[in-house]
Chains A and B, each alone.
Chain A
Amino acid sequence: MTVPELSVRDVTLRFGGLYALDDVSLTVEPGSLHALIGPNGAGKSSCFNVISGLYRANEGTVTFGDHDLTRTRPHRLARMGIGRSFQNAALSPHSTVLDNVMLGRFALTHGGFLSCGLRLPWTRREERKHAERAAEICDFLGIGAELHAPVGSLPYGAVKRVDLARALAVEPSLLLLDEPAAGTNAAETAELASTIHDIRDELGISILLVEHDMGLVMGIADRVTVLDFGRVIADGPPADVQADPEVVRAYLGSENAEAG
């Protein structure tokens, strides 16, 4: 299958008089691992929410192949092959891991109240087939032993993996990851970095990653876009961006100062 290009062009997002995004453009090349970084409040999550249709941009367009995402309602995105994870995981804590991951199969399955309620043979067959696939994905992400555990009973690192599994269950050609390492410890972060890298290599899909953890980003990203106060201040390969004085001042500088 071909992976379309994601193109964000001249997007502006205002909340009242406040500019959350100011004329932001970026392109995620097919099959690339693209990172979006920036200090707190730089507009990374806003940018994500515009792409996934949760916020409406005031100006500009977002296109995914031939689809204009700025005119698309959010629940259409899964059908176009866009999967997304969430900063706060956004799972159903009382439901099992399998049930949460199966939500990712929603757009790929069929059946309403009556066919589910009557447990028609084709509904059960479909359910079984997709549950097997969901279990495979969980196994790949190392949470296969917890399929029937409620998400609320898992440690945070595993919860983030369930969120990732749900996004993968959409069978995306573009995966949007919103701070997958947030709240996880150093060892978990390292594992996660290799998992993300594996996903891209195995599936050949594009990944757009919003991340705080610089180590993770610089280690695996093909390309990095830096946002500051809603504007793009740098865009390029990790090494170039790291050397960019403006980035150092706006982001790395302040981060280092904090760390020091």
Chain B
Amino acid sequence: MSEIATKSPPEAPERAPSPKPRRDALWWVRKALWLVVLLVALALPLYLEAEWLKAGQYMMVGAVGAIGLTLLTGQAGQLSLAHAFFLLAGATAYTVLSGPTGDPELLGFGLDPLLALLGAVAISAVLGLAFAPVAGRLRGIYLGVASLSLVFLGLYFGQAAENLTGGTSTGRPPAEFSLFGFPFSNEGDLEILGVPIRETERVWYLFLALTVIAFLLARGAVGGRVGRAWRAVRDNEPAAAVMGVSVWRAKAGAFAVSSAYAGLAGVMTVLWFDLLKPDESEFGTYGINVSIAYLAMIIIGGLGSVPGALVGALLVNGLPQVLALYSTELGWSTGTGEHAFTPILISSFVYGAAIILVVLFEPGGLAAIGRRIAGRLSGKQRERNGS
């Protein structure tokens, strides 16, 4: 094919094409900020008490799950309320794969925990793929409610299959994680700068590593060919198809990726709780409340924004933890009795209100606010540069 760029129309402006993103001062500021965040996260276990680290871990669990959901719902436009189901699937798969063999009551494969983790992620992805034929046929709210059925079916089977999950009454403890023989427990003496690195600190670093991987993969995918196909399918299916995107495959892929993320978050949940329990009580970890909490994270953060999902998770999963810690520290009447304003309750109010405010006043969520601030800063900077 001949080159069409040989001739340029009269109105073309005198400007060299620069398809690369601008690497101005703001770009460097942004990179530096991420680096600071990462360094702080690395240093925190040296300063924080175990309870606070536990709270931070739960935020990271939320972050991984929310990133997965924002890819599916925000980028690919597929409303899903099934996230809790895939969390349960991942948690169960990890516990079963890594569980000890030979127990007559509980099925276990005795796999190495790392393999079990990878297996759990893969199984969740396959389950997501299995739902794809249904998802491919449905749109919008129909898909949302259809996906809700997975949560109910999952809880039912989770409760019925006691040899996998241990049932609702007792639950089942997961195998503790270990990486090439290094245990994520209190075993062995390990110190950094005189601070003993015990189970909580080790799990913190494990979760941090998983969150960073999840974050970077998602950013790369969103910026690349895959993310482009997802957005095209979200915004106009016929146009996406004509441009060569198989709509069906793009949707199925988004479901598989999102389920894999949820599965990983499920593995993290079960490691965090130290117990697998397929219940849906107020403190349930896999009920519809959880699906809604994840949806809240990505709405608050801004649908489709990966950093937004991170911030949303800090708020939705972090607030109840932090409130609980503060209330004990400050000696508030801690909410445990009847009619009490428990930390979970207050956080629910906060994120319920946050959803309403975001939809009413800033549909782009916190991500849009962030972009606007960045835009204003870079605008000022360009003025200063005199261009």
Asked whether, in the complex, the Cβ of B4 is within 8 Å of the Cβ of A140, the reply is: yes
Chain B residues near A132 (CB-CB < 8 A)? 17, 19
Are A195 and B9 within 8 A (Cβ)? yes
Q: Does A102 belong to the interface (CB within 8 Å)? A: yes
Instruction: Kindly state the separation between the CA atoms of A198 and B220 in the bound complex, as whole angstroms.
Output: 37
A83-118 to B contact mask, C-beta < 8 Å, 1/0: 010100011110100110011101101111110111
Question: Total number of A-B contacts with CB less than 8 angstroms?
Answer: 165
Residues of chain A with a CB closer than 8 A to B20's CB: 128, 131
Asked if A52 meets B242 with Cβ closer than 8 Å, knowing A113-B253, A144-B12, the reply is yes
Closest A residue to B226 by beta carbon equals A116
Q: Report the separation of the CA atoms of residues A103 and B225 in the bound assembly, to the nearest whole angstrom.
A: 8
* Cβ-defined contact, B243 with A135, below 8 A: no
Q: Are A103 and B13 in contact (CB under 8 A)?
A: no
Q: Does residue B236 face the partner (Cβ distance < 8 Å to A)?
A: yes
- The distance from the CB of A78 to the nearest CB of chain B, in whole angstroms, is 3
Does any Cβ of B come within 8 Å of A258's Cβ?
no
B221 touches A116 (CB 8 A): yes
Q: Main SS of the interface on chain A?
A: helix
Interface residues of A in 108-154 (CB under 8 A from B): 109-114, 116-119, 123, 127-128, 131-132, 134-142, 144-145, 147-148
Determine the distance from Cα of A199 to Cα of B239 in the docked complex, in whole angstroms.
21
Whether A66 is near chain B, meaning CB under 8 Å from some CB there, is no
Distance in Å: Cβ of B143 to nearest Cβ of chain A: 20
A13 contacts the other chain (Cβ, under 8 Å)? no
* A255 CB–B CB distance under 8 Å: no
A77 part of interface (Cβ distance < 8 Å): yes
Contact call B242/A98, Cβ cutoff below 8 A: no
Q: Is the CB of B225 within 8 A of A109?
A: yes
The distance from the CB of A83 to the nearest CB of chain B, in whole angstroms, is 8
Interface size class of A (residues with CB under 8 A): 35 or more
* Residue B235 is within 8 A (CB to CB) of chain A in the complex: yes
Q: Which of B1, B9, B221, B227 contacts A171 (CB 8 A)?
A: B1
Which partner residue on chain B sits nearest A131 by CB separation? B19
- A111 and B246 contact, CB distance less than 8 A: no
B2 lies within 8 A of A144 (CB): no
Residues A116 and B7 in contact in the complex (CB < 8 Å), given A90-B236, A93-B235, A107-B243:
no
Known: A111-B225, A127-B225. A204 touches B19 (CB 8 A): no
- Determine whether B188 belongs to the interface, using a CB cutoff of 8 Å to chain A: no
The 8 A-B residue pairs whose C-beta atoms are closest, nearest first, are A107-B244, A116-B224, A78-B244, A135-B17, A117-B217, A131-B19, A90-B239, A74-B241
* A-B contact sample (10 more), CB < 8 A, given A90-B239, A113-B226, A117-B224: A74-B242, A106-B225, A113-B253, A117-B217, A136-B5, A140-B8, A144-B12, A168-B4, A202-B4, A202-B6
